[in-house]
């Protein structure tokens, strides 16, 4: 592109550059999380020096140079924010497997993927473990009978549990729970089969726990007033408590692309605050003289903001809800200062606030899907803002619902498919016939129930919610049961989502004809995704599970155990089979207690248990490598991956190399980061 064309293109961006600040800030965060080595003191001093130099040159440079320097400074700010946050949340991580007594205060109650009640404890004490080596927070799944105490927030309890450090990625380059646990402050996870014992009643001081107890009381009251699935759904969208929802209901909502209705995010926050804003404006307009003498629009905006704060507090204040509140707060703040409320500038400001508070949110599906949908909707409706509608009013509203669902679904579909490996084919239809009820019935009824709660009449509002909720659940079950309702897709390479993001943002944000350059970037990303290839063999972090790719899909070495790894592998393969079904596929030659399989012309032995491991080690001379799930001494000339080695390097991917099997570990992909370092 000639220099004059570049200057002309940049000149056309005047007034449209602010959203790029959020993009560059997010780029800096992404660079930090993409590193393979944790920056040390010298790196940080170098970054500071670069920032100072850019700031010094900025005041003397030409306009084009200033733009470049500003881009560098914003990117460095994002990078530094992520690094600061990673060090701020640093806490003790358990360095070994622990079995014994665990004492702590319950600060959170939820459910695990296996539907077991799960408690998160702080103020943790472990038997015979000094405080300096004790994690600050642990999470324990309760698999035993809870006959002695029903868990409540604030209780100090004691139990006997199995704890271990948070697990790493289930495969190289896969989802890294260890990083999430680092930012969640979890130093250990585990389970117990023994009952909880109560040491102390819940404390009455502390705003956080008081709000949590209030949430649980509201949740229990809602489910008492609306028994069954309707009450569980109502509780989930009002308090964030999903404990009452059973697995089939959740699966149906996911298969019909209605699971987003459970997450208290932008949809719910927008519907609730929008209803309060509209109701207050109508009320003020109905009062003689008030609309003329009072700034009714601004008063309504303040009332909606207050409603948003209350909803944020009562819903648990998770990351998705915080993000949604920031977005609506930006919108109503614009109303208060007489600016246009819904613009890409407001979305960019919301993204900057969210990322400044929680930079780790950038890598999660919640942030990506939320802002993908919001940016797409704002861009599309911004382009249609000046177009007059000449059809009937009902068609205008109906078309708006269909268009909104289509645009949001199209924008979030690649992100959802990349993270969850599922494509619900009838999601648009399910949303078109369900989302309007959320806005017209469910959320207004929830506000009504909250207003009537002090008078003991909340049942009126909850009763209005029930038919609409049952309709939504019925739609979910019906759509999920249709043939071909759900298909599975392979996980994309790590470059695909960044390329899709860059291409999509370029199309939306760039002004002028050069925005078409985003199209080829999007196409290139989709071509890379279509050409994705999965590893020939995978080994779990424990060494107890191996998966080998066959013509029928990945064959697993066992039908039970290491369930999370098995489920993740099959999902990433785009395979809808269960672990039991995958275990029936033929890929292993079983000889006694040994399993043999071939990768790249080399034989690999896999064994579980002491006796089988001894046989594998004895026969290691005839194999390229050996995988066992116990600690073992490596015979001379053998390449053995035992429990000790796997604990250090994580799960394995095995591919065909030039000289036989080529092994890549999870540690090779994550590198030396704060969350991947082994505790001493």
Percent helix, percent strand, percent coil in the chain, to nearest 5: 55, 15, 30
* Three-state secondary-structure class, residue 354: helix
Q: Contact at 8 Å (CB) between 449 and 463?
A: no
Structure token digits, residue 61: 């440079």
- The residue whose two tokens read 């009504």 is 448
- The residue whose two tokens read 């969350």 is 675
How many C-beta atoms lie closer than 10 Å to residue 590's C-beta? Answer: 9
Q: What is the Cα–Cα distance from 305 to 240, expressed in whole angstroms?
A: 19
Tell me which long-range contacts 304-311 makes (C-beta under 8 A, separation of at least 24). Answer: 304/273, 304/274, 304/276, 304/277, 304/280, 304/328, 304/332, 305/273, 305/329, 305/332, 307/272, 307/273, 307/276, 307/447, 308/269, 308/272, 308/273, 308/332, 311/264, 311/268, 311/269, 311/272, 311/273
How many C-beta atoms lie closer than 10 Å to residue 272's C-beta? Answer: 28
Ranges for all domains in the chain classified under CATH 2.40.50: 98-203
The number of angstroms, rounded, from the C-alpha of 598 to the middle of its chain's C-alpha atoms is 36
Q: What is the Cα–Cα distance from 374 to 407, expressed in whole angstroms?
A: 10
Q: Specify the pLDDT at position 586.
A: 85
> Does the 98-203 domain belong in CATH 2.40.50?
yes
Q: Contact at 8 Å (CB) between 195 and 144?
A: yes
Q: What is the pTM of this model?
A: 0.87
Q: Contact at 8 Å (CB) between 355 and 348?
A: no
Helix (H) or strand (E) holding 7: helix 3-11
* Three-state secondary-structure class, residue 641: strand
Q: What is the Cα–Cα distance from 347 to 378, expressed in whole angstroms?
A: 9
- The residue whose two tokens read 């130093």 is 187
Q: b/e string for 40-56 if b means 16 or more Cβ within 10 A?
A: eeeeeeeeeeebeebee
Going by the DSSP 8-state scheme, the letter that residue 421 receives in this structure is -
* In 256-392, alpha helices (H): 266-286, 290-293, 296-314, 319-336, 344-357, 365-384
Q: Specify the pLDDT at position 124.
A: 92
Q: Specify the pLDDT at position 6.
A: 59
Q: Specify the pLDDT at position 321.
A: 76
Q: Specify the pLDDT at position 449.
A: 86
DSSP string, 468-496: HHHHHHHHHHHHHTSTT-EEE-PPPPTTH
- Which of these, 382, 364, 367, lies nearest to 266 by C-alpha position? 367
Close Cβ partners of 56 (under 8 Å, ≥ 6 residues apart): none
Phi/psi zone of residue 122: left (φ > 0), alpha (ψ -120 to 50 degrees), beta? beta
Q: What is the Cα–Cα distance from 161 to 82, expressed in whole angstroms?
A: 34
**Burial, 63: exposed, middle or buried (Cβ in 10 Å; 0-12, 13-18, 19+)?**
exposed
Q: Which residues of the chain have pLDDT under 50?
A: 1
Q: How many CA atoms does the CB half-sphere of 30 hold within 13 Å?
A: 17
């Amino acid at each position: 592109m000639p220099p004059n064309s570049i200057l002309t293109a940049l000149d056309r961006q005047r007034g449209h550059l602010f959203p790029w600040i959020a993009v560059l800030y997010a780029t800096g965060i992404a660079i930090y999380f993409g590193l393979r080595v944790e920056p040390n003191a010298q790196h940080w001093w170098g970054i500071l020096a670069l920032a100072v130099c850019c700031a010094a040159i900025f005041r003397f440079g030409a306009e084009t140079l200033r733009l470049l320097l500003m881009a560098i400074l914003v990117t460095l700010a994002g990078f530094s924010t992520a690094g600061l946050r990673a060090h701020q949340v640093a806490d003790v991580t358990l360095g070994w497997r622990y079995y014994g007594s665990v004492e702590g205060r319950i600060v959170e109650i939820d459910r695990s993927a296996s539907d077991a009640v799960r408690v998160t404890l702080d103020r943790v004490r472990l038997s015979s473990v000094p405080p300096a080596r004790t994690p600050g927070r642990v999470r324990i799944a309760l698999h035993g009978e809870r006959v002695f105490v029903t868990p409540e927030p604030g209780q100090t309890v004691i139990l006997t549990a199995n704890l271990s450090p948070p697990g790493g990625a289930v495969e190289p380059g896969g989802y890294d729970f260890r990083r999430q646990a680092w930012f969640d402050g979890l130093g250990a996870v585990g389970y117990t089969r023994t009952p909880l014992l109560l040491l102390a009643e819940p404390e009455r001081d502390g705003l956080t726990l008081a709000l949590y107890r209030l949430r649980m009381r509201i949740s229990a009251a809602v489910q008492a007033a609306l028994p069954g699935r309707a009450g569980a759904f109502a509780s989930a969208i009002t308090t964030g408590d999903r404990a009452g929802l059973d697995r089939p209901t959740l699966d149906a909502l996911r298969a019909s692309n209605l699971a987003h209705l459970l997450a208290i995010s932008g949809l719910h926050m927008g519907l609730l605050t929008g209803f309060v804003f509209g109701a207050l404006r109508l009320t003020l307009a109905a009062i003689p003289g008030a609309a003329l003498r009072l700034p009714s629009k601004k008063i309504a905006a303040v009332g909606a903001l207050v409603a948003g704060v209350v909803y944020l507090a009562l819903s648990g204040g998770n990351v998705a809800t915080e993000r949604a509140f920031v977005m609506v707060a930006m919108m109503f703040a614009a109303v208060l200062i007489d600016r246009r409320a819904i613009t890409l500038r407001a979305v960019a400001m919301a993204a900057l606030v969210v990322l400044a508070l929680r930079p780790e949110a950038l890598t999660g599906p919640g942030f990506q899907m939320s802002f993908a949908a919001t940016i797409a909707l704002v861009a599309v409706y911004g382009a249609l803002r000046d177009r007059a509608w000449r059809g009937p009013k009902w068609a205008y509203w109906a078309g708006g619902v269909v268009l909104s669902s289509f645009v949001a679904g199209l924008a979030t579909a690649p992100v959802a498919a990349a993270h969850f490996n599922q494509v619900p084919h009838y999601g648009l239809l399910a949303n078109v016939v369900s989302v309007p009820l959320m806005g017209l019935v469910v959320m207004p009824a929830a506000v009504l129930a909250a207003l009537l709660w002090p008078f003991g009449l909340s049942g009126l509002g909850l009763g209005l919610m029930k038919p609409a909720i049952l309709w939504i659940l019925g739609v979910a079950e019906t759509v999920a049961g249709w043939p071909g309702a759900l298909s599975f897709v392979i996980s994309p390479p790590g470059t695909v989502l960044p390329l899709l993001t860059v291409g999509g943002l370029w199309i939306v944000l760039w002004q002028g004809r050069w925005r078409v350059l985003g199209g080829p970037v999007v196409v290139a990303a989709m071509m890379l995704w279509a050409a994705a290839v999965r590893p020939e063999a995978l080994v779990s972090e424990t060494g107890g599970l191996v998966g080998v790719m066959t013509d029928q899909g990945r064959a697993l070495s066992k039908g039970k155990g290491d369930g999370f790894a098995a489920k993740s592998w099959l999902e990433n393969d785009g395979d809808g089979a269960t672990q039991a079904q995958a275990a029936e596929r033929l890929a292993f030659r079983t000889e006694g207690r040994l399993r043999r399989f071939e990768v790249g012309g080399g034989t690999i032995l896999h064994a579980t248990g002491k006796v089988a491991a001894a046989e594998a080690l004895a026969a290691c001379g005839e194999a390229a490598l050996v995988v066992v799930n116990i600690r073992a001494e490596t015979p001379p000339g053998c390449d053995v991956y035992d429990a000790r080695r796997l604990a250090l390097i994580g799960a394995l991917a095995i591919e065909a190399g030039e000289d036989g099997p080529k092994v890549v570990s999870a540690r090779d992909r994550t590198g030396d980061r704060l969350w991947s370092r082994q505790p001493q």
